[in-house]
């Protein structure tokens, strides 16, 4: 889901493994919007054994598979890149 706030988090680089893919329904305005929007999340296991969950687009969700490993770059809640599969242009990366 696109957020319209300024992301002031530091950019994080690490090696990670995709351990889970989640898809859930989101109702932006309960009671007024009867068709839910899909929210896609990818959960990664980082080198230090901690996990990070990032919201992604449907395309990013469908282009990767659980078990894949690669270089993960993210900023706060925003996925910037993962291996050779997901690449976004971002200054400072």
Say what the pTM is.
0.80
pLDDT exceeds 60 at position 2: no
39, 26 in Cβ contact below 8 A? yes
Q: Is 7 helix (H, G, I), strand (E, B) or coil?
A: coil
Fold of the domain spanning 11-87: OB fold (Dihydrolipoamide Acetyltransferase, E2P) (2.40.50)
What tens digit of pLDDT does each residue of 40-73 get? 999 999 999 999 999 999 999 999 999 999 999 9
Higher pLDDT, 64 or 9: 64
- Residue 66: per-residue pLDDT: 97
What tens digit of pLDDT does each residue of 27-45 get? 777 666 677 889 999 999 9
């Amino acid at each position: 889901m696109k957020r319209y706030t300024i992301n002031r988090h530091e950019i994080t680089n690490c090696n990670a493994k995709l351990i889970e893919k989640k898809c859930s329904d989101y109702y932006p305005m309960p009671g007024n919007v009867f068709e839910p929007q899909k929210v896609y999340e990818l959960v990664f296991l980082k080198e230090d054994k901690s996990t990070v969950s990032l919201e992604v687009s449907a395309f990013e969700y469908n282009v990767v598979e659980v078990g894949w490993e690669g270089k993960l770059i993210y900023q706060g809640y925003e996925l910037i890149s993962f291996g050779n599969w997901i690449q976004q242009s971002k200054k400072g990366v």
